[in-house]
């Protein structure tokens, strides 16, 4: 099919920053795009050809939007999967498929999928409500500590809590949930796998998430991960195992734990471009967004190798600041070598809201890491 400068229409569900970065590629290739998002101020608005405001969880809205496109993709998992299924049944190409989304949309179903396919993952149990979970704790079926996860609608850690005491249980919402063994991991790693419609597969290098020692928040995504070749190979093998089992189309980001015994466990996956691949815009031959577009349009996949080492720092809203955003000291970080800020276009900041990210590239990963620390210390996302 001719996608370029033609009548072909690509539909994207979700108009956030991931969509906006996907649109850099569709602009480059001159592919016509239409985007659906609930917010009139969605970051995608400036770069798509058509923008529609609407609820991504509403069957009719998603169905009617999808009926008018040739290929439909999404940049967020919280979309109406029944509408995707009906569109697929009626001949619209939906990538990743409704089946893939159904498998990962609920974290409980996702974990059962790993179990079924003998993919290494932390032991878990699923509960329909908080009472059921409490009952399990009272009867010693579940032992503390453990990690509580809401099976649906969590993002960026909002649906995840480490339960260390009985008291912690009382603050949890009454929703379907999962208890997972608390993994004492050495490293958190991620591997992005791209798979096109014909089944061509490529993996990106293993990246490492470096945590703040006290706040327990990811501070840096580092590519390449500072781990042995042996562990890199193991991580890629497990990621490919997930990809093979899922038979997804598009980008699949596989989040992994490296345990103290150097076992690799799958934490979770996202079948779309992912925060752990943002570094690729500046550091890779083919960035994850272009790769996703290539994959879902069944074009040849691009080179996943890195040109240089890349480190990504998230720009999140500072605590105590809500309102019109200001990027304090952005000029200072732009004076530093190899530094590129990405501003998502959200006008309002609030504590911990993802407002942008900064990429630092350098021939040498240790040098990039030093600049990254400077960036982190210098820039501040505050309100006016």
Pairing mode, if any, of strands 32-37 and 9-13? parallel
Residue 158: is it exposed, middle or buried by C-beta count within 10 angstroms (0-12/13-18/19+)? exposed
- As measured in angstroms, the least distance from the Cβ of 11 to ligand ADP is 25
Of 50 and 181, CB closest to ligand ADP: 181
Angle, in degrees to the nearest 10, between helices 229-246 and 107-116: 100
210 known ligand binder: no
331 annotated to a ligand binding site: no
Among 76, 109, 137, 160, binds ligand ADP (CB under 6 A): 160
Among 55, 58, 70, 268, binds ligand ADP (CB under 6 A): 268
In whole angstroms, the minimum distance from the beta carbon of 52 to ligand ADP comes to: 27
Measured CA angle at 284 (ends 282, 288), to 5 deg: 90
Site string for ligand ADP, 93-122 (x = CB under 6 A): -----------------------------x
User: Measured from the CB of residue 10, what is the shortest distance to ligand ADP in angstroms?
Assistant: 26
Give the closest residue to 208 by CA, choosing from 30, 352, 365, 325.
Answer: 365
The H or E element that residue 368 is part of is helix 365-378
Please name which of 90, 45, 82, 40 lies closest in space to residue 60, comparing C-alpha atoms. Answer: 82
For the CB of residue 216, give the shortest distance to ligand ADP in the complex, in Å. Answer: 7
Q: Which helix (H) or strand (E) holds 328?
A: strand 323-328
Per-residue string for binding with ligand ADP, 165-194, x by CB under 6 A?
A: ---------------xxxx----x------
Using DSSP, state whether 316 is helix, strand or coil: strand
Is 181 annotated as ligand-binding?
A: yes
What x/- string results for residues 218 through 257 when contact with ligand ADP is judged by CB under 6 A?
Answer: -------------------------------------x--
Kindly determine how many residues on this chain lie close enough to bind ligand ADP according to the rule CB under 6 A.
Answer: 17
| Mode of pairing for the β-strands spanning 201-203 and 185-195 | antiparallel
**Known binder of ligand: residue 354?**
no
- Each residue 117-156 as x (binds ligand ADP by CB under 6 A) or -, in order, gives -----x------------------------x-x----xxx
Classify the C-alpha dihedral 50-298-13-89 as positive or negative. positive
Whole-number Å distance between alpha carbons of 272 and 263: 25
Cβ closest to ligand ADP, residue 54 vs residue 154: 154
Chain residue whose CB lies nearest ligand ADP: 183
What's the closest the beta carbon of residue 145 comes to ligand ADP, in angstroms? 9
Q: Is 182 annotated as a binding residue?
A: yes
Nearer residue to ligand ADP within complex by CB, 208 or 255: 255
As a whole number of angstroms, the distance between CA 93 and CA 84 comes to 9
Q: How far is the CB of 174 from ligand ADP (least distance, A)?
A: 19
CB of residue 239 to ligand ADP, shortest distance in Å: 15
Q: Is 188 annotated as a binding residue?
A: yes
Smaller CB separation from ligand ADP, 73 or 151: 151
* Cα distances (Å, whole numbers) of residue 326 to 345, 350, 355: 11, 11, 10
Q: Is residue 282 near ligand ADP by the rule CB under 6 A?
A: no
- Compute the distance between CA of residue 310 and CA of residue 287 in angstroms, rounded to an integer: 12
The reply to whether 107 sits in an annotated binding site is yes
- Secondary structure of 168-213 in the HEC alphabet? HHHCCCCCCEEEECCCCEEEEEEEEEEECCCCCEEECCCEEEEECC
Buried b (16+ CB within 10 A) or exposed e, 364-376: ebeebbebbeebb
CB of 102 to ligand ADP, least distance (A): 17
Q: Which is nearer to ligand ADP, 103 or 286 (CB)?
A: 103
Binding site for ligand ADP (CB under 6 A): 122, 147, 149, 154-157, 159-160, 180-183, 188, 255, 267-268
- Residue ranges for the known binding site for ATP are 107, 149, 180-183, 188, 267-268
């Amino acid at each position: 099919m001719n996608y370029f400068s033609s009548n072909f229409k690509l539909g994207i569900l979700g108009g956030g920053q991931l969509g906006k970065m996907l649109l850099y590629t569709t602009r480059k290739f001159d592919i016509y795009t239409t985007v659906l998002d609930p917010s009139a101020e969605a970051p995608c608005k400036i770069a798509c050809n058509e923008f529609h405001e609407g609820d991504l969880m509403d069957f009719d809205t998603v169905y009617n939007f999808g009926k008018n496109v040739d290929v439909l993709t999404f940049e967020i998992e919280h979309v109406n999967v029944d509408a995707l299924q009906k569109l697929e049944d009626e001949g619209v190409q939906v990538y990743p498929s409704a089946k893939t989304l159904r498998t990962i949309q609920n974290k409980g179903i996702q974990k059962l999928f790993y179990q079924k396919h003998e993919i290494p993952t932390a032991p878990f149990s699923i509960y329909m409500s908080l009472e059921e979970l409490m009952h399990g704790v009272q009867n010693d079926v579940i032992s503390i500590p453990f990690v509580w996860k809401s099976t649906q609608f969590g993002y960026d850690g909002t649906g995840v809590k480490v339960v260390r005491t009985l008291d912690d249980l009382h603050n949890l919402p009454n929703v379907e949930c999962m208890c997972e063994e608390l993994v004492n991991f050495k490293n958190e790693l991620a591997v992005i796998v791209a798979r096109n419609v014909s089944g061509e597969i490529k993996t990106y290098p293993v990246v490492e998430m470096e945590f703040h020692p006290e706040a327990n928040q990811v501070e840096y995504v580092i590519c390449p991960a500072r781990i042995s070749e042996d562990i890199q190979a193991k991580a890629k093998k497990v990621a490919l195992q997930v990809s093979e089992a899922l038979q997804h189309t598009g980008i699949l980001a596989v989040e992994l734990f490296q345990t103290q015994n150097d076992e690799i466990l799958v934490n979770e996956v996202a079948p779309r471009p992912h925060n752990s691949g943002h570094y690729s815009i500046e550091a890779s031959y083919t960035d994850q967004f272009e790769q996703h577009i290539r994959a879902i349009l069944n074009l040849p996949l691009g080179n996943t190798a890195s040109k240089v080492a890349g480190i990504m720092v998230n720009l999140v809203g500072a605590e105590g600041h809500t309102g019109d955003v200001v990027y304090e000291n952005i000029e200072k970080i732009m004076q530093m070598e190899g530094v590129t800020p990405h501003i998502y276009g959200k006008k309002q900041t609030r504590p911990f809201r993802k407002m942008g990210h900064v990429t630092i590239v350098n021939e040498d990963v240790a040098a990039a890491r030093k600049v990254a620390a400077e960036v982190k210390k210098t820039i501040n996302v505050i309100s006016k």
